Structure 1
């Protein structure tokens, strides 16, 4: 079976790395190439992750860069079509929910190529999120849907996806975390910055709904400043978020010290560096998806600064609290966590580091059943 593996943005790399590892164990059954669409084109936001995760450099980089959603999606489709026509794959594997995921799925399907979606079935029910549109379009077209939890299975069945297309395999993001946990522990960033285990928080903040609206952003920053009076908050800031904070004139919220205090800005961190911090954090604050999952496995309380989540299992089973962007609500939950009154959480079923192994086993059986040459 000839496979094209597609990545486009930083979270995709953590999801694809374990799949590539498993495919490499079966050279008699699979040949594969890695295509990077270039959706994330900043070196700090993209290329450094390949090295940290031990991934091969991409065989093809489409270098599409930035632009509106329509511009970026169109460029990916045009360039990926050329790759498909040249390589003639039997299968395209896409991961996650970025523009690259949807664009490459549409392109491959119009060429009659099978597509597998890893991390299928996640739903926020929020159509203002570009990711939700990408998920819906991708899942309805794909031939094989690999899910992270039972909620995702239920979503797909409710949307009329045939049961034979759905495979509950677990979470490839957790495969990567568990594989690199010991290595991340030796990075030493906590010691370098003079932090103490359980005595600081980490923060990611990048969603347009949070950072593009000044009143919303001010409310979040007010809450964060109050929390930072108890524990310093380490904030590896996304370039786009920095741009908006500077544009709104809100830099006064952030500490200018050399050591972590208050809300302390750093440049974007590599995967191992940020994992090193999160392993030792008292609290994680985020508006991303992946950190809701990672915090659950690390056993670290997570406050999600959004009104909805496509990962409800992290709230019902794990350590995640969905709080929205209201200042008082954020502070109430943070105080509960600081005072030790929050839930402990547990790890969801099949988040055991073997998701990619299950995926490749299924692809091997499908190869035989469908007689793909």
Structure 2
């Protein structure tokens, strides 16, 4: 079988890796990188270290409004699919790349398989939630990580093609955990395990809202341990724009975004993690690191039900 896999950001490559390793034993896989997110840490070493296949196509879509970005992806992915004529298209998660891949395939009558199907935050103000719902309704095979996901799909009338397969993030993390353990990131940052909090903030609902971002940073400053904050360039731009920097954020250590293995090691050794990222919530849960989520909801409800995650919002 010939399968086109579509990814657009570093977390999707990491999820894709264990699936690709299994697929390529018996099938032909064509890997398409939309270029939705530019990540300077995704060099050749990234693919080599994590045993991730390098993309066969790099579409170089880049940033833009949701509509413009998704539209450019849709056209570019369609071109690839017309050329490759695959038997199936495989998409991951909830990004604009996910939705564009599913729509392009569905319009060409190519079966769609969705990894991480069925997740719901029930917050339709989040672009990711729209992407999840639309992708699931365009998919023929729905690979669901949890029982909650199966129940969510059933409530929406989707029962055919649903398979509860477990969480691919667990496979990826367990595969990479030993490699991450070799990272010297704690030494480089002069940290000791359990003496710091790790923070990530990247969602537009937090970064683009000055009051939300100020409230989050004020909370970080008031904590009893230093906060290590690898800040995405976009987040850093808003911190500077709002004047939330330098002496105003004592106790917060802003650092550059980290390669995946360094980030995994830093997360695994933190006293707790403060994040608005769904992926980081789940990684913290797998590593049994307490998590405070800077959102009012989560698609990973199991992390809350099992007591490892608290929804704190941004206020």
Q: d(CA) in 2 for partners of 1:300 and 1:311?
A: 15
Q: How many residues align?
A: 314
* CA offsets 1:215-237 (integer angstroms, 9 cap, x no match): 1111111110011xx21111110
Shift of 1:173: 1.1
Q: d(CA) in 2 for partners of 1:246 and 1:53?
A: 34
Aligned to 1:330: none
* CA offsets 1:171-190 (integer angstroms, 9 cap, x no match): 11111110111110111111
2:265 is the counterpart of 1:276: yes
Aligned to 2:124: 127
Unaligned runs of 5+ in 2: none
2:239 is the counterpart of 1:245: yes
Shift of 1:25: 2.5
Which of 84, 99, 102 in structure 2 is aligned with 1:102? 99
**2:222 match: secondary structure:** helix
Residues 1:54 and 1:105: Cα distance change in structure 2 (over 3 Å): same
Unaligned runs of 5+ in 1: 256-261, 327-373
Flag the structure with more relative contact order, 1 or 2, with Cα contacts below 8 A and sequence separation at least 6.
1
Shift of 1:153: 0.5
Aligned to 1:333: none
Residues 1:246 and 1:45: Cα distance change in structure 2 (over 3 Å): farther
Asked if structure 1 preserves the Cα contact closer than 8 Å seen for 2:14 and 2:52, the reply is: no
Aligned to 1:16: 16
Asked if structure 2 preserves the Cα contact closer than 8 Å seen for 1:9 and 1:46, the reply is: no
**1:202 match: secondary structure:** strand
The correspondence of residues 1-373 of structure 1 with structure 2, limited to 5 A, is 1-26=1-26, 30-44=27-41, 49-162=46-159, 164-227=160-223, 230-252=224-246, 253-254=248-249, 262-317=251-306, 319-326=308-315
Q: Of the two, which has the highest radius of gyration?
A: 1
Residues 1:238 and 1:55: Cα distance change in structure 2 (over 3 Å): same
TM-score under structure 1 normalisation?
0.82
Shift of 1:49: 4.2
Asked if structure 2 preserves the Cα contact closer than 8 Å seen for 1:52 and 1:270, the reply is: no
**2:116 match: secondary structure:** strand
